[in-house]
Amino acid sequence: MLRRAVLFSMLVATAAACSRNEPPQEPIPPTLPDTAGEGARRAAEQARQDSIRRAEEERRAAEAATARARSILEEMVFFDYDDSNLRPDAQEALARKVAVLRANPNVTLRITGHADERGSIEYNLALGLRRANSVRDYLTGFGISASRFTTETMGEDRPLDPASNETAWARNRRAEFTITGGGERLVAPGM
């Protein structure tokens, strides 16, 4: 009998540990004898539960907005071989960033240009820098201040895909974006 009780309490403890990540839930109040104030008390309790739920929903919405804005800002753009011109798909991705940057005026970005492994190491360092600068120039063309961007190059030495084939090269010719300031709480652009 005692052993069964210990086992049961261990199960409860485990379940409690597992549910730690879920939103806090109020313990259900013990059932009391029916009195005159019972209805009012239930209504107040309901209102309290609703406000907690709303706060939780708002928090989740803000987190989702931050995550969405962050993913827009961090989305890489890709280039054609030996080229720093922005393709239509890259221009679309950058236009989405412009909206986020306008909605979050404190955000600063580091733009890192990369190249595929073909060509000389030195040339690819220069090409990576030109790609990063090309991205920066496109963004500042929308009126975003150049002071919000730093650019750098990693040449061919930080590939996404180390393989030596067309698929890998296409993924490696890219600009990456790192949020360097103001990224703790982001507002998603109006949708």
Partner 1 sequence: MRVIGARIWVALGLLVGTAAAVAAQDPEAPKGIELAAQYQTRTQPLLAVRPLGAPVDLVGTAQTIQEILTRDLDYSDRFRIFETPSSLASGPIDYAAWNSARVVYVVDGSVEPSGDGGFSLRVTVHDIPYAEAKPTRTYALPSSDDPDFRMAVHAVSDEIVRDITGEPGAAATRIVFVRQNRGSNDLMIVDSDGENLRRLTGTEGLIYSPAWAPDGSRIAYTLQGEGTSQLFERDMRTGRIRTLPAPRSQLIMTPEYSRDGSKLAFAASINDQVELFEADVATGRFQQITRGPAYSFSPSYSPDGTRIAFNSNRLGNPHIYVMPSGGGGATLITPFVSGQRGYYTSPQWAPSGTQITFHGHWNSRGTYHVFVADANRPLSQIRQLTTEGNNEDPSWAPDGRHIVYTASGGGRNGLYVVDVQSGRVRQLAQGAGLRMADWSPTLVRTSGLSSGQ
Chain residues binding partner 1 by CB under 8 A are 110, 119-123, 125-126, 129-130, 133, 150-155, 157-158
**For the chain, counts of helices (H) and of strands (E):** 5, 4
For residue 95, the minimal CB distance to partner 1 (Å) is 22
Indicate the burial class of 150 (C-beta count within 10 angstroms; 0-12, 13-18, 19 or more): middle
158 vs 171 by CB, closer to partner 1: 158
Largest CA distance in the chain: 86
Integer Rg of the chain from CA: 27
Q: How far apart are CA 13 and CA 28, in angstroms?
A: 18
CB of 126 to partner 1, least distance (A): 4
Upper half-sphere CA count for residue 36 (Cβ side, 13 Å) = 0
Six token digits for residue 189: 């652009």
Return d(Cα 9, Cα 27) in angstroms, integer.
Answer: 18
To the nearest whole angstrom, how small is the minimum distance from the Cβ of residue 165 to partner 1?
13
At closest approach, how far in Å is the CB of 135 from partner 1?
12
Residue 155 host element (H or E): strand 149-155
Nearer to partner 1, 76 or 125 (CB): 125
For the bound state, the minimum distance from the C-beta of residue 13 to partner 1, rounded and expressed in Å, comes to 43
Q: How far is the CB of 121 from partner 1 (least distance, A)?
A: 6
Q: Which helix (H) or strand (E) holds 7?
A: helix 2-18
Q: Which is nearer to partner 1, 97 or 130 (CB)?
A: 130
Please identify, using beta-carbon distances, which residue of 76 and 99 lies nearer to partner 1: 76
Nearer to partner 1, 102 or 118 (CB): 118
The residue (of 72 and 129) whose beta carbon lies closer to partner 1 is 129
- Within 10 A of 148 (CB to CB), how many other CB atoms are there? 18
